[in-house]
Amino acid sequence: MIDFTEFEKNIGVEFGDKELLKTALTHRSYLNENAPASGEKSEHNERLEFLGDAVLELVITEHLYKLFPDKPEGDLTSFRASLVNANMLGEVARDLNYNKFLLLSRGEAKDVGRARQYILANAFESVVGAVYLDRGYDVVKDFILRVLDPKIGEIVEKKLYRDAKSLFQEEAQERESVTPTYKVVKEWGPDHDRHFIVGVYLGKELIAEGEGPSKQAAQQQAAEVALQTKGWG
């Protein structure tokens, strides 16, 4: 049996059922390469991920509802989306050193690009599901809020929750009667770890550029910089 003591210390939760924790950290690709011995049961983490996603959404929704009693539904929805998206959950999982304990195929283990971000985010959700089953709602709520609540202040202060692209389009149409356009200026890297620089234009004028691991992420950053450049943010 794998020793997950260090992982349990990292997340601040001790499991009664260690096999459940192992399942939460087992990616489908690992089982494809490491078939269980005859009579031995082994499972990947996708069912736990399904459960964890629902638990995570409930905990965060309840917390935001109580934390911001004067905010409308739209703002609360945006805050929640910023907290539980793949980028945020992958970052938190990386900080908790999930990478050291994930059970992956040799091929997946070598890939540290964009695909790993999603694997980490999914593993975070599957561990949430496992904590809920093993220790109950109060413990999983404590775990979730301990690692995600500190992110809320930054999200609100820096307005990371807003859709910069939509906002820039609304401002540009209202102020200058122009719809922004986006063009890829540069892209590089292998398929699993691409990088893009995208420019946002009003007419033929380049307003700003943004960089990201996808065209969509680069567009969002470009729009954010454009809002600042134009003084519309």
Binding-site positions: 49, 122, 125
185: Cβ contacts below 8 Å, ≥ 6 apart: 197, 198, 199, 209
**pTM of structure:** 0.75
> What angle do helix axes 46-67 and 114-135 make, rounded to 10 degrees?
80
How confident is residue 1, by pLDDT bands cut at 50, 70 and 90? low
How confident is residue 213, by pLDDT bands cut at 50, 70 and 90? confident
Q: Are residues 102 and 216 in the same domain?
A: no
Which of 60, 52, 78, 62 is closest to 147 using CA atoms? 60
CATH value at residue 103? 1.10.1520.10
Q: Are residues 9 and 88 in the same domain?
A: yes
Q: Are residues 56 and 135 in the same domain?
A: yes
Q: Are residues 38 and 61 in the same domain?
A: yes
108 has a pLDDT exceeding 90: no
Residue 212 bridge partners (DSSP): 196
Q: What is the number of structural domains in the chain?
A: 2
Residue ranges making up the domain that contains 132 = 5-157
Q: Are residues 83 and 128 in the same domain?
A: yes
Q: Are residues 225 and 117 in the same domain?
A: no
Mean pLDDT confidence for 182-195: 87
Q: Which residue has the higher pLDDT, 123 or 194?
A: 123
pLDDT in tens, 115-153: 788 899 999 999 999 999 999 999 999 999 999 999 998
Q: Are residues 217 and 190 in the same domain?
A: yes
CA 100, 104, 109, 111 dihedral sign is: negative
Residues identified as active-site: 53, 125
- Encoded amino acid at 174, one letter: E
Q: Are residues 129 and 205 in the same domain?
A: no
Binding-site positions for Mg(2+): 49, 122, 125
Q: Which two tokens stand for residue 30?
A: 């690992």
Pairwise CA distance, residues 217 & 4, whole Å: 35
190 CB-side CA count, 13 A: 6
